[in-house]
Amino acid sequence: MEWSVNNAFKSYKDMEPKSTMDMVLIPNMDTIDIVLGSSEKGNVVPSAKPRKKTMTSVYLKYFETAPDGKTRRCKFCGQSYSIATATGNLGRHLSNRHPGYDKTGENVTSSAPQPSTTPTVIKKPQQQGRAPQVDYDHLNWLLIKWLILATLPPSTLEEKWLANSFKFLNPSIQLWPGEKYKAVFREVFRSMREDVRASLEQVSSKVSIALDFWTSYEQIFYMSITCQWIDENWSFRKVLLDICQVPYPCSDSEIYNSLVKVLKMYNIENKVLSCTHDNSQNAIHACHALKEDLDGQKMGPFCFIPCAARTLSLIIDDALRTTKPVIAKVREFVQELNASLDISEDFIQLTTAYKEGSWQFPLDASARWSGSYQMLDLVQKAGKSMDAVVRKNEEMLGNRMLLNTAEKNVVNIVHNYLEPFYKVISEICVNTPPTIGMVIVYMDHISDTITTRQPPDWLKNPAEDMAKKLRSYNNQVCNIFIYMTAILDPRIKCELIPESLNSENYLEEARAHFVRNYYTTPFSSMTSGYSSQDIEDGGAVSFAEEIARKKRRASMSNATDELTQYLSESPAPTKTDVLEWWKVNSTRYPRLSAMARDFLAVQATSVKPDELFCSKGDEIDKQRFCMPHDSTQAILCIKSWTQGGLKLKYKSTEIDYERLMEMAAAAAADISSAGIDKKQK
């Protein structure tokens, strides 16, 4: 949309009458001047005294003549005067509104009479080739963008000294009251939610949803619902549907009711293929009720699965249970390293001398998996340097951080025991989003690790608890639904399927589901791709080869042959991009690719793995915990939607922040240029 002072945010201005404050947004506020504006035209009454013509050339260079030839506009603030206005009035305008610019010529005098009233700004459409004006509403919309990106409630702008800071820059600046910000956020949320709903109506494939839960400082229980699907270009798409307050006592029925309400709001009940939950019993029961509901309405197959990342997190907590006191000591040492430049330099010099590796500061000292494993890593790989640093800085650190031989031995055993977990979690965090098939393979590897290793006596009880949680996870994912999802991963197919999931009947059930639900899939809904051979040939093939390929495609007209042919080929390398593989091979398997689009969207985790295992999750939890109830839904949803590519929208107006910043940059350049001209003269 085109922005101008006259039409920008017109829909919001219509909410209540007010005068508009015009300002130029530039980095250097010293040269900004703000004047009172009006929506009606006004004329400054010229003095009856004749004005001297000798000052015309001095003042007119700061004014431009409008195309109609009837008015002149100030280049700094847009103030308009009749073309017949004497130049003395122009000089007084510069003296009052832009001090210093009235003294740039030798003929300028300071004895001109001052106007008795403040001149009224006549707002005209922007002219190309000059810095546009930005009013106070523009400033407030930029502050809204800041609140969204920083995940801060509107009440932040009610803080007294923040308002005083703006007043220090310019006393005329006016921010909206807090209630007005809240009203705008609510309307933006409603407007953007309609765009999300419209986009979901265009989705032609099945979708997968995921649930996450947390409690705020107000002791309000929230549930976030995200939706993921694969579009026709074989790209993952993900959108936050809602942040729901789950009423107390937060039972399974309350979770179920909130979930159903959101699915109906977005009209996707008949598109949902799976739900990934957080492993809590209430969520499991709610998903079970949803499955019974969808099965009763014959909406199609539906499955719910536990979050693999949360399962791994619980298993790791069991493994670290016996080493928490030691890890606490090491974490305290690391925090001292991060806080003191002298101590960290000592550590770097000592690790170099002892050849104990290279360490990047600040070290991760979070209480999450990434930080805890780094504590173990530090002890095992840089134990000598740690002891030397503590002894050298004994006066500051004391001896409490020194580890004895037994503690170091415990750390080394746990570190070695958890190394496979470290590798698996690193893979899951890097490969976002991880497919359910590959996650099942990783979890099977973890299961083998726990059952085959013989831990010391003090680690046997935690190991048993770890194995119990893994068995519970495997029991929930060992079904035909997950089997079909796994074999449609071209890296896995049937060859890498874990033994616990490789039932003799699953393949025939998968074949029956494929024929029953995808045999009549129209080819037109599939994205045209290129076969592997087409890519090898550079897209140019002979006429004879075209005929041969046509014959081969015709021989695969039976739907069951697509699945047979797909499974008969060797799995793709593990580094293969799954969606890119299907995009390339969709013409070879037009019906099977439709099934792959549905099932490969199933989410293995209910949260992003790096948000659960890495330190950045601390910031997310803090934002969620501290957000007041009257802002939680709107702020978190709008932030997610804008990060996903949706434009911030107020009613029918799209808020073009790029244009706003262009206007600010143009204004800054104009005033900077004027300042240079002033110095040169």
Q: Which of 21-30, 46-55, 337-346 has the highest mean pLDDT?
A: 337-346
In tens, the pLDDT along 589-644 reads 999 999 999 999 999 999 999 999 999 899 999 999 999 999 999 999 999 999 98
CA-CA distance, 376 to 328, in Å (whole number)?
11
Read off the amino acid at residue 119: P
CB 95 within 8 A of CB 102: yes
Q: Which of 71-75, 135-139, 304-308, 358-362 has the highest mean pLDDT?
A: 304-308
Torsion, Cα of 134, 135, 137, 141 (10° steps): 20
Q: What angle do CA 523, 525, 530 make, to 5 degrees?
A: 70
pLDDT exceeds cutoff 90 at 30: no
**Model pLDDT, residue 172:** 80
CA-CA distance, 178 to 186, in Å (whole number)?
13
Residue tagged 């398997």 (tokens)? 589
CA-CA distance, 176 to 36, in Å (whole number)?
16
Residue 577's CB is within 10 A of a number of other CB atoms, namely 14
CB 443 within 8 A of CB 459: no
539 versus 629: the higher-pLDDT residue is 629
Tokens of 237: 């798409």
Helix (H) or strand (E) holding 238: strand 236-245
CA-CA distance, 386 to 667, in Å (whole number)?
56
CB 64 within 8 A of CB 72: yes
CA-CA distance, 263 to 294, in Å (whole number)?
12
Tokens of 587: 């013409």
185-306+628-648 maps to CATH 3.30.310: no
Tokens of 218: 């107000």
Phi/psi of residue 453, nearest 5 degrees? -80, 145
Alpha helices in 170-242 (DSSP H): 178-201
pTM, entire model: 0.74
CB 9 within 8 A of CB 137: yes
Phi/psi of residue 456, nearest 5 degrees? -65, 165
In tens, the pLDDT along 406-457 reads 999 999 999 999 999 999 999 998 877 889 999 999 999 999 888 888 889 9
Residue tagged 């298993």 (tokens)? 315
Q: Is the dihedral of CA 528, 531, 535, 540 positive or negative?
A: negative
Confidence of residue 72 (pLDDT cuts 50, 70, 90): confident
**Model pLDDT, residue 549:** 58
Assess whether the previous peptide bond of 571 is cis (omega < 30° from 0).
no
Confidence of residue 537 (pLDDT cuts 50, 70, 90): very low
CB 438 within 8 A of CB 501: no
**Model pLDDT, residue 607:** 93
Distances 186 to 54, 183, 324, 655 between C-alpha atoms, Å: 58, 5, 45, 15
